[in-house]
Amino acid sequence: MKAIFARVKALLLRFWHVISRPSAYLSLGFLTLGGFICGVMFWGAFNTALELTNKENFCISCHEMHDNVYQELQRTVHFTNRSGVRATCPDCHVPHEWTHKIARKMQASKEVWGKIFGTISTREKFLDKRLELAKHEWARLKANDSLECRNCHSAIAMDFTKQTRRAAEIHSRYLVKGERTCIDCHKGIAHELPDMTGIEPGWRAPPELRGSGSSLELHRIGLVDYLADL
Amino acid sequence: MRGQNRSGLRFTVTVAATMFGAIVVALGALAAGPNIVPRVTGAAQPMQEASPPPLARPITDDVRRMRNYPEQPPVIPHAIEGYQLTLHTNRCLECHRRQFTEGSGAPMISVTHFMDRDGQVLADVTPRRYFCTACHVQQTDAKPLVGNDFEDMLLVGKSRR
């Protein structure tokens, strides 16, 4: 063990010895230009590879994605619609901005682990895990204020007069004021939903914000007081 | 044929009577021009490719419709396209469930929807009433295929022409 450690240390020291001294054989021009060209090639290759993993074809090359979520997507408005705009997997599930994209891609290395060990390799396993997976996506979209939705649907560009009265009212009350974000109400717009027992509708205020103005809340407080007096 | 087992004369008489009857019926049909209900398959030839009519648009004006009779399940006056109604989730109940009506302003599912088949009242929607669209439907702007002379029961007998 000690011998290996010493050898590694010797190797590193030799490497440092070589790299910390001026080049004896290669010209400065060759080194700088060569470094620049290699850098460009590396960067191009990196981004090309990154883009390749950011395509629908890449996503559905795994049967887990192809047989479950992709089949469901094809039945929704995000796949076919009257204006012919289609959202593919990465449009909603990968941030478009570079830094956030890299961060998401690093997180997604967990999915490689899942693929290797077959975490959702059968339909049954997938259905059992669906609630957990969905909750991750809801949390992610909640945290970034539904960024991926807003890449196409912006509140500024929404013409409320073209919406139904109910939709316009709800959007101006919750969305424009920033009280809620898209994913709060629009869950399951591209995939089937998991068992939603106990998951409250998105337009409801979170419990800590539920004001005493609600008759339900008054009722509850009254009951709690009554029980405390007993 | 049974007639062949009996006497030849009887068979001839039966055939003659049947033919006479058929001719009378056919002549009557030509003269009276009976009301023929349009075929369900449409006017196109069965073996040819027919261009489908455009889909009817759902009515989404949010106005409650009067029921034609008290037991009629109220119709849905809003869009329900893409609403998931599965064993796992029920989008309708996200607004029409009792606890949520205060916030959503939607009508609550009626008291009968809390009763199981023995009349026992449950705390939430009873399983036999869970699938809303089994009874409640959207209306569209489609033209009715056949006429309808339904009369409101309050008007029956009063508006005799």
| Cα pseudo-dihedral B41, B45, B47, B48, rounded to 10 | -110
The H-assigned helical ranges of A68-108 are: 70-73, 89-93, 98-107
Rounded to 5 degrees, what are φ and ψ at B67? Answer: -85, 145
The pLDDT of residue B31: 55
Given CB atoms, is A193 within the 8 Å cutoff of chain B? yes
Interchain contact, B89 vs A195, CB within 8 Å:
yes
**B104 confidence band (pLDDT: 50, 70, 90):** confident
**B3 confidence band (pLDDT: 50, 70, 90):** very low
The parts of chain A modelled with pLDDT lower than 50 are none
| Nearest-CB residue to A166 (from B62, B81, B86) | B62
The pLDDT of residue A31: 92
Q: Is residue A119 a part of any domain in this protein?
A: yes
Which A residues, 17 through 36, put their C-beta within 8 Å of a C-beta on chain B? Answer: none
**B1 confidence band (pLDDT: 50, 70, 90):** very low
Question: Residue A76 is part of a domain; what is its CATH number?
Answer: 1.10.3820
The pLDDT of residue B2: 46
Q: Is residue A80 a part of any domain in this protein?
A: yes
Whole domain around residue A149: which residue ranges? 39-192
Please tell me the distance from the alpha carbon of residue A53 to that of residue A63, in angstroms, as a whole number. Answer: 16
Q: Is residue A208 a part of any domain in this protein?
A: no
Distance from the Cα of B139 to chain A's closest Cα (Å) equals: 16
Number of domains composing chain A: 1
pLDDT digits (tens, 9 = 90+) for B41-59: 666 677 778 788 888 999 9
Please tell me the distance from the alpha carbon of residue A8 to that of residue A145, in angstroms, as a whole number. Answer: 48
Q: Is residue A26 a part of any domain in this protein?
A: no
pLDDT at position B148 over 60: yes
The pLDDT of residue A102: 92
Work out the percent of chain B whose per-residue pLDDT is above 90.
40
pLDDT digits (tens, 9 = 90+) for A76-97: 999 999 899 999 999 999 998 8
| Cα pseudo-dihedral B153, B157, B159, B161, rounded to 10 | 140
Q: Is residue A63 a part of any domain in this protein?
A: yes
Q: Is residue A65 a part of any domain in this protein?
A: yes
Q: Is A196 helix (H, G, I), strand (E, B) or coil?
A: coil
Alpha carbons within 13 angstroms on the beta-carbon side of residue B54 total: 7
Interchain contact, B78 vs A76, CB within 8 Å:
no
Per CB-CB distance under 8 Å, the chain A contacts of B95 are 201
* Nearest chain B residue (CA) to A211: B103
Q: Is residue A99 a part of any domain in this protein?
A: yes
Q: Is residue A179 a part of any domain in this protein?
A: yes
Interchain contact, A193 vs B62, CB within 8 Å:
no
ipTM over 0.85: no
Q: Who contacts A137 (Cβ-Cβ below 8 Å, separation ≥6)?
A: A93
The pLDDT of residue B160: 54
**B37 confidence band (pLDDT: 50, 70, 90):** confident
Average pLDDT of span B131-146:
92
pLDDT digits (tens, 9 = 90+) for B6-32: 455 565 666 666 666 666 555 555 555
Per CB-CB distance under 8 Å, the chain B contacts of A193 are 84, 86, 88-89
Interchain contact, A204 vs B100, CB within 8 Å:
yes
Distance from the Cα of A163 to chain B's closest Cα (Å) equals: 11
